[in-house]
Amino acid sequence: MLDLNDIAMFVQVVRSGSFAEAARRRGMPSNTVSRRIQQLEEQLGTRLLQRSTRKLTLTSAGQDFHERCVSAVDGLLEAGQELMSGSNEPSGLVRVAAPADFFDFFQMEWVSEFLAAHPRVRLDFVLSDTKADLITEQIDVAFRGGPLRDSGYVGRQIVDPGNVGMVASPAYIAARGAPRTLQDLASHDCVVSAQPGGHAVWRLVGPHGAEDVQVAGRFSGNTAQALRKAALAGLGIALLPPVMAALEVEAGTLVPVLPQYRPENFGLNVLYPSRRQLPLSVSAFIGLVIQKMNATDTAPE
């Protein structure tokens, strides 16, 4: 029969990233932790972790086993903590992975409001346009824009895409005119995500459904902020995350281009490692993001 303590130890090792760190957190020798994980692997008849001098890596079997048991372990620990504290109050550290420009559209005042409502919760944000490895980086929840491709994590769209997408500065439109059709974009400068040759394909949804259009320009960048600033400087038409575009349109610094078209799959998605129950602190923060972002009727890339 499997020892639940060994399974909990396995979850701790994955989260800690090493036997030594797991041992430190558990207050026991590192070789004891290593031996118990080895015993668990022998009982299961499969290797869960690949060891190297630099780091531990989950095998495919280890990944699947971790996904299936982590929520149960967390649930038991959370139940014990709630009994000991006599409270169902969210608590603990929540590590959040989000796009680099997350706080350009998610107000810091909302974070302050959340922390005031949940005084036992701490938030640690990991902001990057690089997709985070939730297991390796010990991420509790990740927010991502764009198409939600199969990543091995649990994911769902929590905010629908908005209707504002293509924008340009008033000065650019005054100088070059406004395109009337998607085909007209071929004769315009567009600021695009970095691509070899300066070309990109935008997938848009309009009166005739989804359409692809190839665009090009003399400026490209690898972040939404770079594209926004290029559009503000009059360097061309940009396809921005809807919430970012909507804020600039509202301020009058950018104007909509071909407003009958909207970007496809620019909604906000949430991902988390476990397939089952989320910690109260994580579910509470996801709830805050859903509430605030849906109130804007827009979503980030």
Q: pLDDT band at 86, cuts 50/70/90? A: very low
145 and 281 together in one domain: yes
pLDDT tens digit sequence for 122-170: 999 999 877 888 878 888 999 877 666 656 677 777 665 556 689 999 9
- CATH number for the domain harbouring residue 255: 3.40.190.290
Domain assignment present for 52? yes
User: Between residues 181 and 102, which one has the greater pLDDT?
Assistant: 181
Tell me how far apart the alpha carbons of residues 257 and 127 are, in angstroms, rounded to a whole number. Answer: 30
Amino acid in the structure at residue 279: P
Q: Is 270 helix (H, G, I), strand (E, B) or coil?
A: strand
Going by the DSSP 8-state scheme, the letter that residue 52 receives in this structure is -
170 and 258 together in one domain: yes
Q: pLDDT band at 84, cuts 50/70/90? A: low
Domain assignment present for 251? yes
Name the domain count of the chain: 3
153 and 272 together in one domain: yes
Domain assignment present for 301? no
Q: Name the helix (H) or strand (E) containing 109.
A: helix 108-117
Q: 191 forms bridges with which residues in the sheet? A: 238
**Owning domain of residue 68:** 4-85
Tell me how far apart the alpha carbons of residues 301 and 143 are, in angstroms, rounded to a whole number. Answer: 10
pLDDT tens digit sequence for 9-44: 898 898 888 888 888 888 889 899 999 999 999 999
Query: Average of pLDDT values for 256-275?
Result: 79
- Supply φ then ψ for residue 214, to 5 degrees: -90, 130
Nearest to 203, CA basis, from 170, 234, 165: 165
55 and 170 together in one domain: no
